[in-house]
Amino acid sequence: MNTEIAGIIAMFVITLLLAIPLGKYIARVFGGEKTFLDPVFNPVEKFFFKASRIDVTREMNWKQHLYALLSINFVWFFLSFFILTNQGWLPLNPDGNPSMSPDLAFNTAISFIVNCNLQHYSGETGVSYLGQLIGLMYLHFVSAATGMAACAVLFNAMRERQTSQLGNFYNYFLKSCTRILLPLSIVLATFLAFKGVPMTFEGKDTITTLQGDTVKVSRGPAAAFVAIKHLGTNGGGFFGANSAHPLENPDYSTNMAEMIAQMIIPFAMIFALGYFLRRKKMAWAIFGVMTAGFLLLAVPTVIFEMNGNPAIEKMGIAQHAGSMEGKETRFGAAASGYWSIATTVISTGSVNSMHDSSMPISGAMQLLAMMINAFYGGCGVGILNYYVFIILAVFISGLMVGRTPEFLGKKVEAREVKIAAVIAILHPLLILAGTALASYFAAGDTPMGWWFNGNATGWLNNPGYHGFSEMLYEYTSSSANNGSGFEGLGDNNPFWNITTGIVLLLSRYLPIIGPLAIAGLLADKKYIPESAGTLKTDSSTFSIMVFAVIFIITALSFFPALALGPFAEYFTMF
């Protein structure tokens, strides 16, 4: 047991130790300062910019940034959609996997472009290698880089000056790929390949088991795919079972590496903010709030998972290893519980155990992690989400100290509050409205026609509270751009593909547009120097305030839903 706990503590500490220098490096990259990789990448980037005729010195305002961001995302969506719906006849398809149905391709392409990776298919049978690499893995890079570039725009807007010139989007975007994601991916993929993760273009392998049966084993260019899936907080696995699959995550060391990989960039972005703005204290204040939130979710989960299932205990079965249903013995209960929270607080959504089998309270914690969606958060977008809560906290606490609220020397007024409020409402709206729609059909067991083959309850593998949690989880995961599933839900059908697809689109782009709009508007305002009456936004008191705002807005709006799902399940266990 103690080694298990030591293992997860080591994972956290190593991530933190690596993230601080990485943050410094990221700040230098976005600040256009010299880095040790310049000789390698300068010519490459120059070539790209020249070929695409992009003038990187042209500074953009926040609207131009958003225009660039949305237009390139739009193009990639169609590229991915085209490959997925035509992969059957396109090359690199040794296993002969079929083309995707339009509704599944719609959902898949969207969920990869928005960094969610909901995966209503199984990698082994659902996608060709071309689909994996160009349709999906390419989007792993660009969706992560989109988030990081948006975050760079935010950093630029938060500096102490009055400006509408916030750098060049294409510059931030390309550098996120070349300077940050690509080098880290190469390192991690190499490590994984050495550890036994396949990296080949050959089709299924045939092996003979000890019993003498022959089994066909899927393989492919997995090592490269798995590396960026974690580094870019994407989470979409090469194989259906994701990181629980032995070829995607062979042992404890790869588990640790993948765990560190998925958290390192969200951590590093916080420190990058500190270096970029020269406000290290603020970076630590943000990191403190996020870590407190993370621990409040992770600690109960690990405890509940390690304590085992009371229902099984009642049957007189000893559970020395903790609750092991749906878990891999090579990782154990503690590492699996830790992973389940890490993957839900940041928007990775890769899994190394089945969340459907987690204890009810662990399930509630996983749900809450995604409902809050601002503790660390996804690549770049985590800070954008957190920024909205900062604005709301600044507003309320500004009033509380008797001064018109200001953040980093800029007055927060009605317009910014309006945008922040809309973004804060959006997340509960999408989750609750989606779940309400699905519950409505399930409650009446409505025949769904084209939308679903059969009656609505047919998509639930579990009745009752757990079934409700499954539906709630699916929309929460979509809205948080997380991509993990509670599973047990029949989700590859037009109803789920299309409704979650819409949720994905809204919940990805609006929470990028909102914070950037606020930051852009604030950057345009006159800078007010700090005085003794100014509220310090890097103090511990303010951090508590932000935490309280996050808790009140998110946790409270989901309280009734959680009560009907995991809490009801938990209380009926005894």
Q: Per CB under 8 A, does 455 bind another protein? A: no
b/e map 504-532, b = 16+ CB within 10 Å: bbbbbbbbbbbbbbbbbbbbeeeeeeeee
Q: Per CB under 8 A, does 510 bind another protein? A: no
Q: Is 184 helix (H, G, I), strand (E, B) or coil?
A: helix
Q: How far is the CB of 385 from another protein (least distance, A)?
A: 16
- Of 155 and 468, the one with the shorter C-beta distance to another protein is 468
The interface region with another protein, picked from 259-267, 323-331, 363-371, 406-414 by CB under 8 A, is 406-414
Cα angle vertex 66, ends 65, 72, to 5°? 95
What's the half-sphere exposure (Cβ side, CA atoms, 13 Å) at 562?
20
- Which of 334, 535, 546, 550 is close enough to bind another protein by CB under 8 A? 535
- Which of 254, 255, 435, 493 is close enough to bind another protein by CB under 8 A? 435
For residue 240, the tally of other CB atoms under 10 A from its CB is 16
Q: Per CB under 8 A, does 528 bind another protein? A: yes
The interface region with another protein, picked from 64-72, 226-234, 303-311, 538-546 by CB under 8 A, is 538-546
Q: Which residues pair with 455 in a beta bridge?
A: 447
In the chain, % helix, strand, coil (3-state, to 5) comes to: 65, 5, 30
Count of residues interacting with another protein (CB under 8 A): 66
Q: Per CB under 8 A, does 517 bind another protein? A: no
Q: How far is the CB of 306 from another protein (least distance, A)?
A: 22
Q: How far is the CB of 534 from another protein (least distance, A)?
A: 6
What's the half-sphere exposure (Cβ side, CA atoms, 13 Å) at 256?
18
Q: Per CB under 8 A, does 400 bind another protein? A: yes
Cα angle vertex 85, ends 82, 87, to 5°? 95
Q: Per CB under 8 A, does 158 bind another protein? A: no
The interface region with another protein, picked from 223-231, 287-295, 314-322, 524-532 by CB under 8 A, is 524-532
CA 227 – CA 201 distance, rounded (Å): 17
Q: Per CB under 8 A, does 401 bind another protein? A: yes
CA 361 – CA 370 distance, rounded (Å): 14
| Range 245-304, binding another protein (CB under 8 A) | none
- Of 376 and 407, the one with the shorter C-beta distance to another protein is 407
The interface region with another protein, picked from 206-214, 301-309, 413-421, 505-513 by CB under 8 A, is 413-421
CA 316 – CA 314 distance, rounded (Å): 5
- Which of 33, 43, 436, 447 is close enough to bind another protein by CB under 8 A? 436
- Of 16 and 303, the one with the shorter C-beta distance to another protein is 303
Element spanning 109, H or E: helix 102-113
Site pattern 541..570 for another protein (x: CB under 8 A): xx-xx--x---xx--xx-xxx-xx--xx-x
Q: Per CB under 8 A, does 468 bind another protein? A: yes
**Residue 250 CA to its chain's centroid (Å):** 23
Q: Per CB under 8 A, does 529 bind another protein? A: yes
- Which of 269, 286, 424, 516 is close enough to bind another protein by CB under 8 A? 424
Q: Per CB under 8 A, does 448 bind another protein? A: no
- Of 114 and 472, the one with the shorter C-beta distance to another protein is 472
Site pattern 344..383 for another protein (x: CB under 8 A): ----------------------------------------
Q: Per CB under 8 A, does 314 bind another protein? A: no
Q: What are phi and psi of 531, to 5 degrees?
A: -135, 180
Alpha-helix runs per DSSP H in 346-463: 360-372, 381-400, 414-444
Q: Which residues pair with 215 in a beta bridge?
A: 207
Question: Are 115 and 379 a contacting pair, CB within 8 Å?
Answer: yes
- Which of 63, 278, 281, 418 is close enough to bind another protein by CB under 8 A? 418
SS (H, E, C) 444-473: HCCECHHHCCCEHHHHECCCHHHHHHHHHH
Q: How far is the CB of 531 from another protein (least distance, A)?
A: 4
Q: Tell me the two tokens of residue 258.
A: 């993948």
Q: How far is CA 90 from CA 122, 134, 189, 200, 296, in A?
A: 19, 12, 26, 18, 48
CA 486 – CA 470 distance, rounded (Å): 6
- Which of 24, 159, 280, 403 is close enough to bind another protein by CB under 8 A? 403
Q: Per CB under 8 A, does 440 bind another protein? A: yes
Q: Per CB under 8 A, does 90 bind another protein? A: no
Q: How far is the CB of 367 from another protein (least distance, A)?
A: 14
| Range 18-57, binding another protein (CB under 8 A) | none
Q: How far is the CB of 519 from another protein (least distance, A)?
A: 17
- Which of 18, 37, 277, 396 is close enough to bind another protein by CB under 8 A? 396
Q: How far is CA 228 from CA 137, 172, 475, 487, in A?
A: 8, 18, 24, 23
CA 170 – CA 49 distance, rounded (Å): 9
Residue 455, burial from CB neighbour count under 10 angstroms (0-12, 13-18, 19+):
middle
- Of 187 and 296, the one with the shorter C-beta distance to another protein is 296
Q: Per CB under 8 A, does 161 bind another protein? A: no
The interface region with another protein, picked from 22-30, 255-263, 319-327, 429-437 by CB under 8 A, is 429-437
- Which of 41, 81, 112, 395 is close enough to bind another protein by CB under 8 A? 395
Q: Which residue has the tokens 């090469």?
A: 238
- Which of 8, 83, 371, 392 is close enough to bind another protein by CB under 8 A? 392
CA 481 – CA 377 distance, rounded (Å): 10
Question: Are 40 and 370 a contacting pair, CB within 8 Å?
Answer: no
Q: How far is the CB of 133 from another protein (least distance, A)?
A: 40
Q: Tell me the two tokens of residue 15.
A: 């991530």
Q: Which residue has the tokens 């959504």?
A: 349
Inter-axis angle of helices 360-372 and 280-307, nearest 10: 160
Interacting residue ranges for another protein, rule: CB under 8 A: 392, 395-404, 409, 412-414, 417-418, 421-422, 424-425, 428-429, 432-433, 435-437, 439-440, 442-444, 465, 468, 526-529, 531-536, 539, 541-542, 544-545, 548, 552-553, 556-557, 559-561, 563-564, 567-568, 570-572, 574
